[in-house]
Structure 1
């Protein structure tokens, strides 16, 4: 399976431009014969543009996700639509599967290549360090894992990387590919390199981190979208400029590695 990570430029107050860049990345990935493309965290409004969250919020059936579902269908490619600010009340009014009926959430949606919504993940761990996320957003509760392209695919979001228990829970559900939409800024480059590699090694699974590119008033995104294999080896990566990162990933490799090095079987309960 060919995986593509769309490290697009994210600009504040440019939702139309951000969407155009996202749609262009989907088309580009399809031309490169990718099977799945992933977008960054809150790419449409910009993670650090906290004042734009409420006015930029949409339900699951809103225009941004609808356009990306259409693009998945048009280009015959599965799309992880990064994350958007979801209006939970509007989603509930449309009879969507939501855990609460009010507030906002940082929500990732995975579409199959026919535009079918396969998974909805709402960020569990809200970032409290120099961020308004804990004040503005409602944390998610569910941890969906879905069969897609031969993998058991799961999604986490950015700050979730710091919480290994979440990744172990996903491994217990059979996840062998975890995709992580993010908006990770400078100066925490070493954290960005170390944490996903550790999550891959610990769980003997592929971990793919897709970050944005761009500058905000108080932060610069560091890019470096990367695919790690089940040994923690880097398969593909990039710098901090806009890029489309691609890598071949194989579900059979996860099984071989877990059989060769059965650390998950050797666990003890405490």
Structure 2
């Protein structure tokens, strides 16, 4: 059993927590209650908390149900996230079922900061085996770089993880941490962890994969799937008795590692057509 506390480093240390939990199908209010219960257990010196993909609904394939429960960026879910972030004093990341101004629906990732700033990015790669690619709309912009407490952070969603170009680090716009809220079934858990580790090594960053638990008609999501990797591809998570996973990320160590082995300087230049 891991120890019950971590102390932030003086060198821009970042304490991060990922919370895997079961998600009730299409039940926004009950899932918000579940998330609030989990957030109340987060250690007070935490900087970022990561929730699973579609944390208020799980994956909903039915068009009628989507139309009933999808929310705008200024809806109840985002308003609640803002209040939580301010109250607890940490940023909260994850994704929710969003309705755009154009009437289309998105699997929308969020990064909500304690001061009220919110960054959104839409899942680009929609899972073709399910109906996600038919009922949701893909994002049409690269994930932005979020500047938070001295760190550069990017946020992608689940299946986006399989496409390395989408998260490729560039020398002129280096980022340090990749956050991946997910609904990844246990049948492909080996690939989930392998891809998170690979993204960490190739980009010389930390990666955090926060996966849901429980089950739905698309698969099972067991405990122990959520992970945190360092820039060498090592899993550095510590698991608490309540199932939360933590790690202390050290920006100074990360920068020193890049200086010792500056592979990022050899990155190929390319453009992406959207």
Q: Structure 2-normalised TM-score? A: 0.86
Q: Per the alignment, in what secondary structure is the counterpart of residue 53 of structure 1?
A: helix
Alignment of 1:42-61 (within 5 A): 42-47=54-59, 49-51=60-62, 52-61=65-74
Instruction: Point out 4+ residue stretches in structure 1 off by more than 6 angstroms.
Output: none
Provide, for residues 145-168 of structure 1, a one-character-per-residue CA deviation record: whole Å limited to 9, x for no partner: 011022101101000110000111
Alpha-carbon spacing, 1:266–1:167, altered in 2? closer, same or farther (3 Å)? same
SS at match of 1:249: strand
Q: How does 1:8-23 map to 2 (within 5 A)?
A: 8-23=21-36
Q: Is residue 83 from structure 1 mapped to residue 95 from structure 2 by the alignment?
A: yes
Instruction: Provide the C-alpha distance between the structure 2 equivalents of 1:127 and 1:172, rounded to a whole number of angstroms.
Output: 31
The answer (yes or no) to whether the contact 1:225–1:238 under 8 Å persists in 2 is no
1:120-143 alpha-carbon deviations (Å, 9 max, x no partner): 1100111101x1110011111222
| Superposition pairs of residues 116-155 of structure 1, within 5 angstroms | 116-117=117-118, 119-129=119-129, 131-142=130-141, 143-155=143-155
Aligned to 2:226: 225
CA distance in 1, matches of 2:267, 2:215: 43
Spell out, residue by residue over 1:107-127, the C-alpha distance to the aligned partner (whole angstroms, 9 max, x if none). 01111112321x111001111
- CA change 1:170–1:177 in 2 (3 A) is farther
Aligned mates of 1:14, 1:86 — CA distance in 2: 14
CA distance in structure 2 between the partners assigned to 1:128 and 1:28 by the alignment: 36
Residues 181-196 of structure 1 correspond to what in structure 2 (within 5 A)? 181-196=181-196
Q: Distance in 1 between matches of 2:256 and 2:154?
A: 20
Larger mean CA deviation between 155-164 and 216-225 belongs to: 216-225
**Residues in 1 aligned to 2:242 and 2:70: alpha-carbon distance in whole angstroms:** 25
Please state how far the C-alpha of 1:8 moved relative to its aligned partner: 1.6
CA distance in 2, matches of 1:113, 1:207: 22
CA distance change for structure 1 residues 60 and 227 in 2, over 3 Å: closer, same or farther?
A: same
Q: CA deviation at 1:269?
A: 5.0
CA-CA distance at 1:171 after TM superposition: 7.0
1:40 to 5, 28, 52: 52
**CA displacement 1:3-52 (0-9 Å, x = unmatched):** 010112112143222111112222222x34211101110111112x3223
**Matched residue count:** 253
1:245 alignment partner in structure 2:
245
Q: Shift of residue 237 of structure 1?
A: 6.0
1:238 Cα deviation from its structure 2 partner: 5.7
Residue 171 of structure 2 contacts residue 267 of structure 2 at CA under 8 Å; is this kept in 1?
A: no
- Cα separation, 2, equivalents of 1:150 and 1:191: 31
